[in-house]
Amino acid sequence: MKNLIAANWKMHFDVKEAEDTAKRMASTIKFNGIDIVVCANFTHLDRLNGIFNAGSIKLGAQNMYFEERGAFTGEVSPLMLKAVGCEYVIIGHSERRHIFNEDDELINKKVKSAIEHNLIPIFCIGETYDEREKKQAFSVIERQIESGLRDVDIENVIVAYEPVWAIGTGVAADMATIDKMHNFVRPFVDDVPILYGGSVKPNNAEELAHIENLNGFLVGGASLKAEDFKEIIEKFTKIKGEKYA
Ligand code: 13P
């Protein structure tokens, strides 16, 4: 099973900050048997491609549209992402689902289009606090997987379980919950890596890495500092690196 740790920089850096952080990452993070991906803003991808080009860090986008070209003002196509060196693209992040009203059908089109264009989708799923309170966590996850991955060749997908209530709070979901949710997701996606996201930090990465069906992380806030991101990678590989690499 491939392990992977991805940074989601969200809408945080200007281009200079992105370049500086990318350079620090490129010079300090060495190949260690797992895939490392940085998902940056569209406007920074071309520059970052130049920085990551020769190294072991791969480039990803945070979103895309499913069409190749046309009258879709404000959108970015898979061809455009490929042209600036992207290998990965986050699809269906909870912020896209909840702030920008992306539904399962649109997400499914994006996942399929990414794969058709040789981009690896990091397909995000996760329940909200309200859904968990109403005991709907499993049914929501099941619906997101079944609709989002309908007619998709899943061997080309990475799944990221990100409970919405643990994103950006500083407190990750507890081990038992993540274990239960990843075990629930596993039969739907066979050998596909399942990442966890939601307040992953240097101080909890090692403990979280012990979860059996957890094959890496999708890291938001803590990926904005090269040193913290590197520490998360080291803590993870200490537990899973040799065994799974
Ligand atoms: P945080 O790590 O900041 O909680 O963000 C998680 C996330 O949304 C990654 O996609």
CATH number of the domain residue 105 falls in? 3.20.20.70
Has residue 245 been placed in a domain?
A: no
Q: How far is ligand 1, taken at its centre, from the CA of residue 69, in Å?
A: 30
> What is the number of other CB atoms lying within 10 angstroms of the CB of residue 64?
24
Percent share of the chain, pLDDT over 70: 98
pLDDT at 242: 59
Q: Taken in order 210, 216, 221, 223, is the CA torsion positive or negative? A: positive
**What is the greatest pairwise CA distance in the chain?**
48
Confidence of residue 2 (pLDDT cuts 50, 70, 90): confident
Residue 96 lies in a domain: yes
User: Which tens digits make up the pLDDT trace of 68-90?
Assistant: 999 999 999 999 999 999 999 99
User: Is the shortest distance between the CB of 232 and ligand 1 below 6 Å?
Assistant: no
Residue 62 within any structural domain of the chain: yes
Q: Ligand 1, residues 9, 10, 123, 158: which to mutate, most atoms within 8 A of Cβ?
A: 10
How far, in Å, from the CA of 39 to the mean position of ligand 1? Answer: 12
Atom 7 of ligand 1 has which residue's CA nearest to it?
220
The number of domains in the chain is: 1
Length of the chain: 245
Q: Residue 107's domain spans which residues? A: 4-240
Give the closest residue to 145 by CA, choosing from 127, 125, 128: 125
User: Which atom, in ligand 1's list, is nearest to the CA of 221?
Assistant: 3
